[in-house]
């Protein structure tokens, strides 16, 4: 698209200011900016502007009713069925890892953050080792897909390459990148994040299933015979990338989506909450939940007790059915990079000034047959979000150590040493018959790190 056509396109939406300094750019930067303008989807942008313009209007009416009686973990029938399906190579795992470690004061993809208490394995290494050990247990190479974003794609791929994919075979590991959406200022206008790029941001985890479908990964997995997809977040290191129970539940109940949830524990916890709206299971984000209902209790327990931890199992046929649906966009007021013409530099304000538009994965639930599985937090959920306090490295490592002890004690049937720090080989999470035989009734060494080869 030539400059005059781009100018006309911008004039049609009142955004021609983006080309004010166009003639001062070098040829490469001119080309980059024109390409950005050419790629603007005006229908999506108009919808973004409408959402921002009407954000204070009355919200759509939701029939808030509590979820009644989700299935309870553990469930041996689900576990056995899931084990069978995984061993047949019918299950893959999608990990959403598009974020940076900004709140951790870590200027890299969050998946690179060292998280384990002894060996300081990164989130990506811990994930990869779990996939390898689950493969050993299943006697089947299990596939992993990682969704990155434009802000961390290259560094993530390079990290895996430098570490030789942590022992995984390249054919079993795929990457794809989530889409971006324009960011708007408080007046609802576009702006530049550099002198030749329109400000954009990743569009949230809601687009992950459609992005997967459009990527080569989906067709590759279909040809491979994958039937179920486990969906987890990279910043929840307690999540099992090949959760037998959740997969088996999906198969036995013929669900489009099965979801692992946990009990809410704190009225200030920032989690989405499950509700029943007529005949549909839905999630309402904490920021959009009526405060009186979010905090409401009956007999000391939350009226809406079940928290969404973004831990799902999807039927691949259901993912295919989502190809052409349009998910809603949710607003988030943030501080983002902006190009200052006066300073001729990129600056980041300390205060929020711009609106990001995000899609949430739980907005696919109204299209699905959904079943919930309630599990204790200590087995499945400890998010890494903050530098200090709740959901920090300290709390995550405490929870990792506690679960490591549960896992090795389950294999050995002996008590783990009361030492800290403490860490075990992920093989104890996916014990083979050989490992069980080797470690059964064996005293656990008084060591900070226990290898399955000890």
| CB-based contacts of 415, cutoff 8 Å, min separation 6 | 409, 444
Q: Which residues pair with 146 in a beta bridge?
A: 95, 175
- CATH topology for 41-388 is Spore Coat Polysaccharide Biosynthesis Protein SpsA; Chain A (3.90.550)
- Helix H or strand E segment including 171: none
Q: Which of 305, 206, 302, 306 is CA-nearest to residue 260?
A: 306
Omega within 30 of 0 (cis) for the link into 352? no
Domain ranges of the chain: 41-388, 392-454
Q: Which two tokens stand for residue 453?
A: 């080869």
Task: Return d(Cα 55, Cα 51) in angstroms, integer.
Answer: 6
Q: Which two tokens stand for residue 282?
A: 């839905």
| CB-based contacts of 220, cutoff 8 Å, min separation 6 | 174
Q: Which of 148, 125, 374, 318 is CA-nearest to residue 237?
A: 125
Query: Tens place of pLDDT for every residue, the chain, 454 residues?
Result: 789 999 999 999 999 999 999 999 999 999 999 999 999 999 999 999 999 998 877 566 788 899 999 999 999 999 999 999 999 999 999 999 999 998 999 999 999 999 999 999 999 999 999 999 999 999 999 999 999 999 999 999 999 999 999 999 999 999 999 999 999 999 999 999 999 999 999 999 999 999 999 999 999 999 999 999 999 999 999 999 999 999 999 999 999 999 999 999 999 999 999 999 988 999 999 988 999 999 999 999 999 999 999 999 999 999 999 999 999 999 999 988 898 888 888 888 888 999 999 999 999 999 999 999 999 999 999 999 999 999 999 999 999 999 999 999 999 999 999 999 999 999 999 999 999 999 999 999 999 999 999 9
Task: Return d(Cα 107, Cα 99) in angstroms, integer.
Answer: 11
Q: Which of 308, 294, 280 is CA-nearest to residue 380?
A: 308
Whether the CB-CB separation of 364 and 206 falls below 8 Å is answered with: yes
Q: Which of 217, 234, 230 is CA-nearest to residue 128?
A: 234
Backbone angles phi, psi at 254, to 5 degrees: 55, 45
């Amino acid at each position: 698209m030539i400059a005059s056509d781009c100018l006309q396109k911008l004039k049609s939406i009142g955004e021609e200011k983006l080309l004010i300094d166009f003639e001062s750019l070098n040829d490469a930067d001119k080309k980059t900016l024109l390409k950005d303008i050419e790629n603007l989807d005006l229908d999506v942008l108009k919808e973004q502007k409408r959402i921002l313009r009407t954000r204070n209007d009355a919200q759509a009416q939701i029939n808030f009713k509590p979820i009644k009686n989700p299935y309870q973990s553990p469930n041996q029938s689900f576990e056995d069925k899931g084990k069978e399906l995984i061993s047949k190579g019918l299950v893959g795992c999608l990990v959403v890892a598009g974020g940076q470690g900004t709140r951790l004061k870590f200027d890299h993809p969050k998946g690179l953050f060292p998280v384990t208490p002894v060996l300081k394995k990164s989130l990506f290494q811990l994930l990869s080792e779990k996939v390898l050990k689950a493969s050993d247990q299943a006697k089947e190479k299990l596939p992993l897909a990682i969704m990155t974003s434009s802000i961390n794609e290259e560094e993530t791929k390079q990290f895996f390459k430098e570490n030789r994919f942590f022992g995984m075979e390249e054919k079993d590991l795929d990457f794809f990148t989530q889409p971006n959406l324009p960011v708007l200022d408080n007046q609802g206008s576009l702006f530049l994040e550099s002198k030749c790029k329109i400000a954009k941001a990743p569009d949230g985890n809601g687009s992950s299933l459609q992005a997967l479908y459009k990527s080569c990964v989906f067709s590759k997995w279909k040809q491979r015979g994958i039937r179920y997809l486990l969906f987890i977040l990279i910043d929840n290191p307690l999540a099992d990338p090949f959760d037998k129970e959740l997969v088996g539940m999906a198969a036995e109940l013929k669900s489009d989506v099965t979801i692992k949830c946990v009990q809410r524990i704190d009225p200030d916890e920032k989690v989405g909450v499950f509700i029943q709206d007529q005949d549909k299971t839905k999630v309402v984000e904490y920021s959009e939940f009526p405060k009186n209902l979010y905090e409401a209790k009956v007999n000391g327990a939350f009226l809406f007790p079940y928290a969404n931890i973004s831990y799902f199992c999807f039927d691949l046929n259901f993912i295919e059915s989502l190809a052409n649906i349009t998910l809603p966009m949710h607003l988030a007021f943030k501080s983002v990079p902006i190009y200052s013409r006066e300073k001729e530099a990129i600056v980041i304000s300390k205060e929020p000034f711009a609106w990001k538009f995000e899609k949430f994965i739980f907005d696919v639930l109204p299209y699905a047959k959904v079943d919930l599985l309630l599990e204790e937090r200590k087995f499945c959920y400890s998010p890494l979000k903050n530098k200090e306090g709740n959901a920090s490295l300290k709390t995550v490592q405490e929870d990792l150590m506690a679960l490591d002890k549960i896992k090795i004690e389950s294999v050995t049937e002996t008590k783990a040493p009361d030492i800290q720090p403490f860490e075990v080989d992920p093989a104890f999470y996916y014990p083979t018959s050989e490992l069980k035989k080797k470690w059964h009734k064996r005293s656990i060494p008084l060591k900070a790190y226990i290898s399955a080869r000890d």
